[in-house]
Structure 1
């Protein structure tokens, strides 16, 4: 497996420098775009990594997988009344669809959907502080690493420049699909998006989705197998914003990206993979990371198709 990773590292290196970092979040604008790391954790706990696989970065929208897992566990099918399960076909921060679909987001991985999920967790855990602490504790549980924390500089930067997300939340509140204070919920949302992890930690933390909802190392059942199947299916169809179809076409695995440059992917029954390269393509997904995952499934045949 390490030989495959080394091959991929060599083949994607000429692409480094293409794309752009997430400049609209000032705290991320100065990240070195030439970085690349890739890590794999197998269901038996073995892991392999190349490049900057232990370099910490802001996981951004990858955190939506963890928050959605908690919300699905808390509300089960009742959650689908507030956030749907369909690809959006629009940019991740679009207001247009939300307007003509009465304030119900298409899926939990676009910004509006993840903000509603966060609102549901604030209601379930009674305060925004408790909701965030539960999300972070769940990530600690999934990763087996309690050192994982928030980058407060990134969180503050996002809050100070989060006008479009405030607009999304306010629009949903006007339609009655938002229960708590907009600013408090968004503070929780930005904090969980600003959690910092590396590729090795991320690949470890996604193993429960590669094993029917049960962590194969600790043997703890985090969600049931049906819920794991539903989360994986949403990652396949909605995990890469309006480029989700292209990612499924090229890579053929359930995955979730973040504008911090990370992507996670799941090979059911076998492993979880994480890549990191901060320069993004036009859809807000890691340009080199996407290519690395395409090469991985091509070289190994480990696609779900």
Structure 2
């Protein structure tokens, strides 16, 4: 039996989904080739690549999980989905005058394209675009600490979990090794596309990338994007259905950097990856999926995370195509 994204999460056979998650986890836990954890951020480099977890939140709020789905990990760039959601709520479509909506085709931390396009990042999920989004959030609160607090409050709201927090050790490591991000921020500032001091913007950026969540928390946090903008845990509206669709569209086209096309081909779901090894994927109308395996491929995306989502999409018939 398969399902399509046109169906509601309530139509999903829980036994079938639970079996799929357990079998996928068992197969991937036995793999010897697992990729390499991000080695340029010391706390991430020390994470054992043997870890694997997966969780699915359906739009009727049922949660299914397998592996180490309750173990917290650094969500890194997955946080950009939530900062973008917040920034659009504050600035609306005026944000798109400062950042584009096109795939980059380049690495997530490339400065070449930013220079070529005169300080307008190609999309909000590459590092330069996320720095502009952080600046937009900072312009409202004016103080980095308040902005970080606002981001954490939003994540706790959508996850329905007050324990979500940023890891200060990871944030310090991000700052200590973030020279290329500092270059991007200063270049954006020189082009007039940052309104706040670069070091303040970087502080916000490093801290939201340092947020730790488990697969279970992350699947719940992303469920509003699968549920027409409404949080299935609380019934409260997060964004309009139209905005949820547009965020999903950006995740589909830009969520895996220069690996986005291959991911769409193999998995066919809106998603966002992070160099901590996590991936958040959305099955519109059906489910939010979070997977974590720390080993990365050459594009900085979770090697086994992509394989897990490809297997799950195939077994459940969840591709949007």
CA distance in 1, matches of 2:119, 2:81: 21
Match of 2:161 among 129, 145, 149: 145
Alignment of 1:262-273 (within 5 A): 262-273=278-289
**Structure 2 portions without partners, runs of 5+:** 1-16
CA distance in 1, matches of 2:250, 2:20: 28
Deviation string for 1:45-103 (max 9, x for gaps)? 11111111111100000000000000011111100000100000000000000001010
Alignment of 1:183-262 (within 5 A): 183-262=199-278
Runs of 4+ displaced beyond 4 Å? none
Q: How does the TM-score come out when normalised to structure 2? A: 0.94
Distance 1:125 1:229, change over 3 A: same
Matched, 1:104 2:126: no
Q: Secondary structure at the match of 1:299?
A: helix
Matched, 1:8 2:20: no
Which residue of 1 is the match for residue 182 of structure 2? 166
User: Is the 2:227–2:284 contact (alpha carbons within 8 Å) kept by the matching residues of 1?
Assistant: yes
CA distance in 2, matches of 1:117, 1:12: 35
What is the CA-CA distance between 1:16 and the residue it aligns to?
4.6
Which residue of 2 is the match for residue 118 of structure 1? 134
User: Is the 1:16–1:33 contact (alpha carbons within 8 Å) kept by the matching residues of 2?
Assistant: no
Which residue of 1 is the match for residue 10 of structure 2? none
CA distance in 1, matches of 2:22, 2:247: 30
- The range that moved more, 284-293 or 45-54, is 45-54
CA distance in 1, matches of 2:95, 2:241: 17
User: Is the 1:277–1:289 contact (alpha carbons within 8 Å) kept by the matching residues of 2?
Assistant: yes
RMSD over equivalenced CA pairs, Å = 0.9
Matched, 1:95 2:118: no
What is the CA-CA distance between 1:126 and the residue it aligns to?
2.3
Deviation string for 1:274-293 (max 9, x for gaps)? 00000000000000000000
Matched, 1:78 2:98: no
Q: Secondary structure at the match of 2:291?
A: strand
Distance 1:126 1:39, change over 3 A: same
User: Is the 1:17–1:34 contact (alpha carbons within 8 Å) kept by the matching residues of 2?
Assistant: no
CA distance in 2, matches of 1:44, 1:170: 45
CA distance in 2, matches of 1:17, 1:289: 12
What is the CA-CA distance between 1:127 and the residue it aligns to?
1.8
Matched, 1:134 2:133: no
Q: Secondary structure at the match of 1:39?
A: strand
Deviation string for 1:155-188 (max 9, x for gaps)? 0001011100000011111111111011111011
